[in-house]
Homo-oligomer: A and B are copies of this chain.
Amino acid sequence: MADKSNEKVLIKGNYAIAQAAINAGCQCYFGYPITPQTEIGEYLSGKMQELGRAYVCAESELGAINMVMGAVSTGVKAMTSSSSCAVSLMQEALSYASSDELPVVLVNVMRTGPGLGYIYPAQGDYNQAVYGGGNGDYKLIVLAPSTVQECVDLTYRAFYLAQKYRNPTMILADGLLGQMMEPASFGEYPYPEVDVSSWALTGAKGRDARKIYSVATDEKKQIQHIYDLHKKFEVIAENETTYEEFNTEDADIVLVAFGSMTRNIKAAMNVLRAKGKKVGCFRPVTLSPFPYKALKSLADKGKDLVVVEMNMGQMLKDVKYAVEGKVNVSFVSRPCGEWLSVEEIVDAVEDIMVSNTSKSIQPGSVKEVSYAAARA
């Protein structure tokens, strides 16, 4: 069905990611089921066997991510996919992979948290992805698709960037995107193959043995290593930060969202434009590196911002950080479940435009009764 042609096919976000991984040359998939991303592994189980590539039903997400680390250390492309609470289990390994500079590719199709939460789509793992839930100073590259087509495109990009920079790279999707179908075309994997021969483990034949590790019993080396990782990420930020802007030029107010919420702010913008309101949209494609500069320059131009998220204000903080108090930054949110509708966003933005100060709005928020945690 889905292949390398340019023909459009109607396909689920989860399957799109899986097929794109195949096209990108992913040699190994390791995974453990969890809704709403289990279909990635299900799709790949048959295909990878047919292609003679590796597929392991890992014993857990801990197992899976460590298998990926082992596999990519040999220079092949490999990935795992999971969701929210189970991604939390991978934080130690991600911190290791960053330090070991292993080109791990990881997909998080977000569900609701904290804890087990539930399978409703949400965007509550922004902090974990962007700030790094693991220990120490490191950063993942984080790509957030907003359409099924981007599930394809950003999966391609994830494999490329991971190897290019030898940095773990995450595709941060959500249950909505994972579960929906939309037309998308695959085409060929558009990036060059990265030369890994200088570091990949292939057996010490005709060269010195190679060691990939993060521990440095020499303090100076350890410090240098942390500086080098930091500098690498500055290069990544310089080269790879991507975002989209729509109608920001003449806008008085700019809506900011990531992932599949982008769809809704764009529609809300259209509605508001139709009503004569000068509204624009801004959407980071890379959440890490985050487009601080681009947002700063919007603020410098005096545009008020409205951040729209399916969480309690995680990207909001980065946006506020970027604009350094220069403009009003308002917030429209629901923490999970039913995606904020275009109408809700439109209403909220109109409300904000009237009041002309920063505001936090939770449309149709449920009645605020106290919620006993020992829910008898």
Contact = CB atoms under 8 A, between A and B. Distances in A.
Contacts of A230: 312
Interface in A334-374: 334-338, 362, 365-374
A311 B371 CA distance: 39
B99 A115 contact: yes
Interface in A75-112: 84-89, 91-92, 95-101, 110, 112
Interface stretch (A45-53, A129-137, A187-195, A243-251): A129-137
Interface stretch (A2-10, A155-163, A221-229): A221-229
Interface residues of A, number: 92
B118 A136 contact: no
A217 interface: yes
A208 B211 CA distance: 59
A375 interface: yes
A220 to B, nearest CB: 5
A56 interface: no
A135 B95 CA distance: 16
Given A117-B136, A211-B376, A224-B367, 9 more contacts: A85-B92, A88-B95, A99-B117, A117-B214, A131-B131, A212-B373, A212-B375, A219-B338, A227-B368
A303 interface: no
Interface in A123-150: 124-125, 127-128, 131-138
A66 B361 CA distance: 36
A239 interface: no
A368 B224 CA distance: 7
A368 B227 CA distance: 8
Contact of A95 (B97, B110, B113): B113
Interface of A (DSSP majority class): loop
A217 B211 CA distance: 47
A127 B116 contact: no
A99 B96 CA distance: 27
Contacts of A274: none
Most buried by B among A135, A222, A311: A135
A123 to B, nearest CB: 10
A210 interface: yes
A146 B87 CA distance: 33
Most buried by B among A224, A311, A338: A224
A149 B132 CA distance: 31
A266 to B, nearest CB: 24
A276 interface: no
Contacts of A12: none
